[in-house]
A and B are shown apart, each in its own frame.
Chain A
Amino acid sequence: METLVELRGIVKKFPGVLANDRVDFELRRGEVHALLGENGAGKTTLMNILYGLYRPDEGEIYIRGRRVELRSPRDAISLGIGMVHQNFKLVESHTVLENIILGLRENGLRIDFESHRRRITELAERYGWRIDPMARIWQLSAGEKQQVELLKILYRGAEILILDEPTSVLTVQETRRLFEALRRMAAEGKGVIFITHKLNEVMEVSDRVTVMRKGKVIITKDTRETTKMELANYMIGRQVIFGRREASSKPGAVVLKILDLKVLGDRGYPAVNGVSLEVRSGEILGVAGVSGNGQVELAEAIAGLRKPMAGRILLNGVDATGMDAGKMIELGVAYIPPEGNKLGIVPEFRIVDNLFLKAYRYPPYSNKILLNWRRMLGKARELIEEFGVVTPSVFSKAKSLSGGNIQRLILARELSGIVGGAPRLIVAAYPTKGLDVGATEFVHDLLMRYKEMGSGIIFISEDLEELLLLSDRIAVMSGGRIRGVLAREEADAEKIGLLMSEAAIQAG
């Protein structure tokens, strides 16, 4: 089989980091090649080099056997390389068609929209996608946006396709369809590179897999000849345990009761539209659903960051409806926000400042006016020890931490509460998103530990596997409503997917 891409001895250094250390990589015609590794393993760096975004410090790139210099993505595109980034790069207010033909060289002064439209529709149908070229991007679901990104590349005749964590925004059903399309592309003789850290996906879709760890390639193998367990060991360099966690504790009193809650989203529409829920102490309530269906707004309402427009929130029987974030903190609500590196920390602040972002204003860390830094520093050192935040000192800036360590810092702050003791209620919104296997395991362990200590936990996630792993009950959310609550014994991926899609049909 012909070799489409060959990377030899690629080295890329960033200040203080060796992102790629003499990496060899090969992509053949007609294969889906998974590039597996934890965050920070150097996968994306390597692919950005192949796409011409970075220049390697050392090493050679061969495309279809010819040595090339990639100075910019333009060079890469002209060699038939296309990349779909993790965050879509589409003009939201333009149509699908406009986005696809944007920047095409063949367009002269007059654009023949009709012929473009026909060709795009044909191309989409080849992969079983039904997309209206005249639809505007903001009207599309995440899955459809991704299809547009792929169409954009294919329309330019790319046959080397790079997908950076393409499933992180998709539902189970959408993921399945994406995989079918990728198989189809491979069958047509294209080469697909699929960056991921999810083992299931590697097993499901790829022909070969290359595992990276700490900037190095550990191994390249035929997928058929390996197992999930083996890959996990290569990926993190030690044994991993898969399996459901059993807790000894029984749920206790009701901590949070939500009655017919309605909350406006940023666009002024009700994002949460009549939600009623109950969380008991010592219980994890999973919230499943595709992101953007009101989960974050629900979490923010509970955390006091969004005023509900109707309904009630009761915390330990006390009416907390409409209280601000400060009051909610005092009532024992811990909130682990989505995208912790944006909302959860102040990157320019030191670690100690970030650990006391909430507790600084309560005794013993301050009196009426003055801060007690000595107390805070002492406690901060304990916390980074306890939560395993890897840092040279508590005076380092938070932005110097890796994603996993940032999440540890946020957990340390939220779970240690404002003055110690477990929080009454923990609202965790996508706490493992973007984390590698090791850090995810740590977050899971912590949530289980706090559950046993008697906290009530709302655990919002898109990852059904981890929801099934941790939750006592799973609420399925879509379109701002709870479509059903399943006990863990009766819940499985099919049932949850069904609840989500039924709602979609009703809504559609």
Chain B
Amino acid sequence: MPFTLETRLGRIRVERRVGYGRLYSISMTLLSLAIALLVAGLILASLGLDPVAAFQVIFGVFMKPSLLLESIKQSIPICLAALGLSIAFKMNFWNIGAEGQLYMGMIASTGIVLLHSYYGLFNEWAIMPLMLLASFLLGGAWCLIAGALKARLGVNEILPTLMLNYVAMLVVEFLVHGPWRDPKGYGFPLSIPFPDYAKLNFVFGEPAYTGLLLSVLGAAAVFLLLEYTKPGFEIKVVGQSPAVARYAGIRVRRTILLGSFLSGGLAGIGGLSIVSGIIGRLRPGASPGYGYTAIMVAALAGLNPWVVIVASIFFGGLLTAGGALQMSMGIPRAAAQMIQAIIFLMILVGEFIKRYKIVLEKPGVSGS
């Protein structure tokens, strides 16, 4: 993104920074975090709240085991969706629809649970594998709609993926208000609570552990796909240049279909982790924007699947911290969200400054 602006002060140029050290990278992140806390602190102080106490709560999230587990739990849908997005983004396929794909994964998982509970189909031990499969397929199919539109008709994927988010949310609304409403739920728009065998708590009874396992397996799968398989190589070539891919004899359309399906599929499993791990049933608004956060996580992690895990836990922690701030300090919900947003923003700016440098050329001075 080279960019030049002529001003009276001289010429301001934004250039890509050529190679930077790890130490520089880490210190820039820490610096932007510090600036974020400073700004957030000023806002808190202006609300008459003690910033230091608030920061203790925020950092406490990563120190206290119970809150850390909560953060990890929150990170799982983000992580799985971001892993899926990493595949799509490598393919230069701008999937903005992880949110909707999460919801489709939730619908698929809940569907399997209901088939068992209402009609007694399947054995109990088969429920979880079936849920995994169904959420993967349905999430994938949801993204495949946009993929097929792009592959067949050349439709840009951004709008279809984005708009299908709303469709997916409305499908959930319809289901929990209508056919899937819990008969014993006093008319609330909720599905029945999931039975234990449909929950992600079979490792030490704690969903965070099972979820973390899912995240790690997902990251490994994405890593292997992109680095060691033929379809992964093809996805990367298509992402760099469809023209070169065609020249190389790669079937570009098929690759787009496959890549978009895998991307949505991983988000679908993320949806499973919400209903089976975090909430324990299906309800409207089950995702507070995990799918959108995942876009940032994938970008910040530089599409590296292992870094995605770490970045997701950080963002999961911020979500948890928001709740903790409301509860322990009585900070209004909006203020808590503002603090989250400031931290998001500063880190994004920090990433930008890391990758680009701004040069001011003074006029009238020769290069010597």
Contact = CB atoms under 8 A, between A and B. Distances in A.
Given A325-B248, A326-B249, A373 B243 contact: no
B118 interface: no
B18 interface: yes
Interface string A310-350: 00000000000000111111100001010000111111110
Contacts of A104: none
A309 interface: no
A343 B247 contact: yes
A369 B229 contact: yes
Interface string B244-255: 101111110000
A55 interface: yes
A349 B240 contact: yes
B230 A346 contact: no
B251 A326 contact: yes
A430 interface: no
A341 to B, nearest CB: 11
A360 interface: yes
Contacts, number: 71
A58 B246 CA distance: 46
Interface stretch (B51-59, B334-342, B360-368): B360-368
A57 B247 contact: no
Interface string B346-368: 00000000000000000110111
A469 interface: no
Contacts of B366: 55-56, 69
A342 B244 CA distance: 8
Interface residues of B, number: 23
A370 interface: yes
B367 A361 contact: no
Interface in A146-166: none
Interface in B200-237: 228-231, 233, 236-237
B15 to A, nearest CB: 11
B18 A361 contact: no
A358 to B, nearest CB: 5
Nearest to A12: B367
Contact of B244 (A324, A357, A360): A357
A329 B367 contact: no
Contacts of A304: 249
Interface string B307-329: 00000000000000000000000
Nearest to B368: A58
Interface string A360-371: 110000100111
Nearest to B6: A72
Nearest to B224: A370
Given A15-B18, A346-B241, A55 B367 contact: yes
Contacts of B240: 346-349
Given A324-B249, A370-B228, A346 B244 contact: yes
What are the 5 closest A-B residue pairs judged by CB atoms, nearest first?
A: A326-B249, A55-B367, A325-B249, A357-B248, A346-B240
21 contacts: A55-B367, A69-B364, A71-B363, A305-B246, A305-B247, A325-B246, A325-B247, A325-B248, A326-B249, A328-B249, A335-B247, A344-B244, A345-B244, A349-B236, A357-B244, A358-B248, A361-B230, A369-B230, A370-B228, A370-B229, A373-B228
Interface of B: 18, 228-231, 233, 236-237, 240-241, 243-244, 246-251, 363-364, 366-368
Given A327-B249, A371-B233, 11 more contacts: A57-B367, A69-B364, A305-B247, A329-B249, A344-B244, A346-B237, A353-B233, A357-B244, A369-B229, A370-B228, A373-B228
